[in-house]
Every structure is written in structure tokens, then in C-alpha cells.
Amino acid sequence: MSEGILLPAVARGTLLPTAERVARLEQALPQIRAALDGERDAVAIEATLACLLWETLVQTNWCGFYRRVGDRTLAVGPYQGTMGCLRIDFDRGVCGACARTHEVQLVPDVSRFPGHIACDDRTRSELVVPVVVGGELRAVLDLDSPHLAAFDRAEADLLVALVADVFAGATF
């Protein structure tokens, strides 16, 4: 058992085959939704998601949130992993692209992404999901991995649905 939710133990840093990663995430999702049931405070939601997605997505070396703190600025929020950059302008990096466009950024090789910010130079691939509530970009969920192509579109789609559910009605 892992901390927080019931999942098979897998060593941190393991890149499971895609089907196993998707199955593991699908097993975790009802438990994550149950853990957050009724919670409306955005920081409480972000902190709990950072913890539980870190347990679930064992391929990550960074898992957490950047929050919108100005017109075009993100500041680091709750996360697990190696130390992240504190602030990211909307013009920079994968998180900035997500914040600008409100679109999921699925980057199999960050070295090919113009302007990628290397907070941890071991990061090779990245998935960023926008947190948009009431049409406003409130935060981004940033997932980084030291493996190339560590995230699949199916994982992205599941995380988009999770974020939409758990932040609906949240107070930021």
C-alpha cells in the first residue's frame, strides 16, 4: 500500500508501460475524488492532488501546481519533487504556453520545446493541464518526468476530467 491511497507498490521513478500507467491512474481516480469530496478550498485541493498524484504517477520527478498570481505570472504552489522555479511568466516554458492557451501541453521531449524552463535538468518530458474555472485560468497542473515520452494522451484526458471535477466551485 502507498501513503494516502491503495495502489500496488512501484518504485519511484519507474516508467511503467502505457497501459499499466493508465490502469494505475484509473484505479487511483475514484480514491482521489473521494478524498476531495466536498472540499472547496483551492490550496487544500492542490496540496492533496500533488500528494496523491505523486503516489500514483511514479514516473514523475515533479508533480504540482503553478498558480496565477498576476495578469501574466504564475507562482509555484503545492508540489512534490525537486525544487521548482518560483515564478514563471506566461511567455516562458511549457507552463507559460498552457497558461496562455488554456490548452493541455503534452511534451514527449522537452529539449524540442522552444523556451522550456529547466528547473531540474534531469526532466525529459512534461504534461501540463490548465485549471480553468468559470472561464478563468487559475492555475496549471505541471507533471515532469526524467523519462522521454512518460505521459500519454489517455493520462492527459483522465487528468483533464479530474481537474474539471475537483476544482468546479473551488474558491481561489
Residues that bind ligand SME (CB under 6 A): 62, 84-85, 88, 93-95, 116-117, 119-120, 123, 126, 142, 144
Q: Which of 48, 50, 74, 46 is nearest to 60 (CA)?
A: 50
Nearer to ligand SME among residue 19 and residue 83 (C-beta): 83
Closest distance between ligand SME and the C-beta of residue 97, in Å? 8
Nearer to ligand SME among residue 46 and residue 126 (C-beta): 126
Q: Which of 36, 48, 42 is nearest to 69 (CA)?
A: 42
Closest distance between ligand SME and the C-beta of residue 34, in Å? 28
Nearer to ligand SME among residue 93 and residue 133 (C-beta): 93
Closest distance between ligand SME and the C-beta of residue 93, in Å? 3
Task: Judge contact between 38 and 171, C-beta under 8 A.
Answer: no
Closest distance between ligand SME and the C-beta of residue 117, in Å? 4
User: What SS3 state is found at 61?
Assistant: coil
Nearer to ligand SME among residue 95 and residue 141 (C-beta): 95
What are the distances in angstroms from CA 117 to CA 64, 123, 128, 137?
15, 10, 13, 20
Interacting residues of 136 by C-beta distance below 8 A, sequence separation 6+: none
| Nearest residue to ligand SME, scored by beta-carbon proximity | 93
Half-sphere exposure of 140 (CA within 13 A, CB side): 33
Nearer to ligand SME among residue 58 and residue 94 (C-beta): 94
- Would strands 136-145 and 62-70 be described as parallel, antiparallel, or unpaired? antiparallel
Closest distance between ligand SME and the C-beta of residue 49, in Å? 15
